[in-house]
Protein backbone atom coordinates (compact mmCIF):
# COMPACT_ATOMS: atom_id res chain seq x y z
CA UNK A 1 0.00 0.00 0.00
CA UNK A 2 2.37 2.70 -1.30
CA UNK A 3 -0.09 5.62 -1.39
CA UNK A 4 2.00 8.72 -2.13
CA UNK A 5 5.72 8.26 -2.68
CA UNK A 6 8.25 11.07 -2.83
CA UNK A 7 11.80 10.87 -4.07
CA UNK A 8 14.37 11.76 -2.97
CA UNK A 9 13.94 11.85 0.82
CA UNK A 10 16.89 14.17 1.42
CA UNK A 11 19.00 16.40 -0.79
CA UNK A 12 21.63 19.07 -0.37
CA UNK A 13 22.16 21.48 -3.23
CA UNK A 14 24.42 24.41 -3.90
CA UNK A 15 22.94 27.76 -4.81
CA UNK A 16 22.17 27.87 -8.51
CA UNK A 17 21.87 24.13 -9.01
CA UNK A 18 18.71 22.59 -10.36
CA UNK A 19 16.80 19.51 -9.37
CA UNK A 20 13.48 17.75 -9.71
CA UNK A 21 11.40 16.24 -6.95
CA UNK A 22 9.18 13.36 -7.95
CA UNK A 23 5.81 12.50 -6.49
CA UNK A 24 3.98 9.33 -7.44
CA UNK A 25 0.54 8.18 -6.28
CA UNK A 26 -1.21 4.90 -6.87
CA UNK A 27 -4.69 5.89 -5.72
CA UNK A 28 -5.92 7.16 -9.11
CA UNK A 29 -6.46 10.65 -7.70
CA UNK A 30 -7.12 13.51 -10.06
CA UNK A 31 -5.77 16.21 -7.78
CA UNK A 32 -2.17 16.53 -6.70
CA UNK A 33 -0.36 19.24 -4.75
CA UNK A 34 3.09 20.41 -3.76
CA UNK A 35 3.56 22.15 -0.40
CA UNK A 36 6.48 23.48 1.52
CA UNK A 37 6.64 23.62 5.29
CA UNK A 38 8.93 25.94 7.19
CA UNK A 39 9.42 26.21 10.96
CA UNK A 40 6.58 28.08 12.63
CA UNK A 41 4.53 28.22 9.47
CA UNK A 42 1.73 26.13 8.13
CA UNK A 43 1.96 24.22 4.91
CA UNK A 44 2.01 26.58 1.97
CA UNK A 45 0.82 25.52 -1.45
CA UNK A 46 3.38 25.89 -4.21
CA UNK A 47 1.55 24.45 -7.22
CA UNK A 48 -1.27 22.04 -7.78
CA UNK A 49 -2.87 20.01 -10.54
CA UNK A 50 -6.48 19.08 -11.07
CA UNK A 51 -5.74 16.42 -13.64
CA UNK A 52 -3.26 15.02 -16.11
CA UNK A 53 -1.76 17.76 -18.24
CA UNK A 54 -2.94 20.59 -15.98
CA UNK A 55 -1.06 22.71 -13.47
CA UNK A 56 -1.88 25.85 -11.52
CA UNK A 57 -0.08 28.22 -9.20
CA UNK A 58 -0.58 28.13 -5.50
CA UNK A 59 0.36 30.56 -2.80
CA UNK A 60 4.16 30.56 -3.25
CA UNK A 61 4.96 29.49 -6.84
CA UNK A 62 7.96 31.70 -7.57
CA UNK A 63 11.16 29.80 -8.26
CA UNK A 64 9.37 26.51 -8.94
CA UNK A 65 7.91 24.77 -11.95
CA UNK A 66 5.76 21.67 -12.16
CA UNK A 67 4.59 19.14 -14.67
CA UNK A 68 1.86 16.50 -14.69
CA UNK A 69 2.49 14.46 -17.81
CA UNK A 70 1.02 11.32 -16.29
CA UNK A 71 -1.89 11.13 -13.90
CA UNK A 72 0.10 9.30 -11.27
CA UNK A 73 3.12 11.60 -11.28
CA UNK A 74 3.59 15.22 -10.28
CA UNK A 75 7.07 16.72 -10.64
CA UNK A 76 8.37 19.80 -8.87
CA UNK A 77 11.39 21.52 -10.38
CA UNK A 78 13.79 24.05 -9.00
CA UNK A 79 15.60 25.67 -11.91
CA UNK A 80 18.11 27.69 -9.91
CA UNK A 81 18.05 26.81 -6.24
CA UNK A 82 18.26 29.58 -3.65
CA UNK A 83 18.88 29.31 0.12
CA UNK A 84 15.31 30.58 0.70
CA UNK A 85 14.09 27.33 -0.82
CA UNK A 86 15.56 25.31 2.03
CA UNK A 87 12.50 23.58 3.40
CA UNK A 88 10.59 20.35 3.78
CA UNK A 89 8.52 19.63 0.69
CA UNK A 90 5.38 17.54 0.85
CA UNK A 91 3.41 16.16 -2.02
CA UNK A 92 -0.24 15.31 -1.55
CA UNK A 93 -2.95 13.74 -3.65
CA UNK A 94 -6.69 13.47 -3.34
CA UNK A 95 -9.05 16.14 -2.23
CA UNK A 96 -11.07 18.16 -4.65
CA UNK A 97 -13.53 20.96 -4.63
CA UNK A 98 -14.79 22.27 -1.37
CA UNK A 99 -18.00 20.34 -1.70
CA UNK A 100 -16.37 16.97 -2.07
CA UNK A 101 -15.20 16.66 1.52
CA UNK A 102 -12.31 14.55 0.31
CA UNK A 103 -9.09 14.74 2.32
CA UNK A 104 -5.58 14.90 0.99
CA UNK A 105 -3.03 12.15 1.48
CA UNK A 106 0.60 13.08 1.95
CA UNK A 107 3.93 11.63 1.00
CA UNK A 108 6.58 11.44 3.68
CA UNK A 109 8.40 14.54 2.52
CA UNK A 110 11.66 15.65 0.96
CA UNK A 111 14.10 17.54 3.14
CA UNK A 112 15.97 19.97 0.92
CA UNK A 113 18.90 22.14 1.98
CA UNK A 114 20.36 24.81 -0.26
CA UNK A 115 23.83 25.99 0.67
Partner 1 sequence: RKEVEQDPGPFNVPEGATVAFNCTYSNSASQSFFWYRQDCRKEPKLLMSVYSSGNEDGRFTAQLNRASQYISLLIRDSKLSDSATYLCVVNMVGSGTYKYIFGTGTRLKVLA
Which residues sit at the interface with partner 1, rule CB under 8 A? 31, 33, 35, 40-43, 45, 48, 50, 56, 88, 90, 95-109, 111
Least Cβ distance, residue 42 to partner 1 (angstroms): 4
Q: Which long-range contacts (CB under 8 A, 24 or more apart) does 1-4 make?
A: 2/26, 3/27, 3/105, 3/107, 4/91, 4/92, 4/93, 4/105, 4/106, 4/107
Distance CA 85, CA 55 (A): 20
Least Cβ distance, residue 67 to partner 1 (angstroms): 18
Least Cβ distance, residue 51 to partner 1 (angstroms): 11
- Closer Cβ to partner 1, 64 or 90, answer by number: 90
DSSP β-ladder status, 110-114 and 4-7: unpaired
- Closer Cβ to partner 1, 11 or 17, answer by number: 11
- Closer Cβ to partner 1, 67 or 102, answer by number: 102
Amino acid sequence: NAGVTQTPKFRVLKTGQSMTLLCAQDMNHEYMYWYRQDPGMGLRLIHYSVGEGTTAKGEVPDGYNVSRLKKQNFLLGLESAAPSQTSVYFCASGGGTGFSNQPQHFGDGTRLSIL
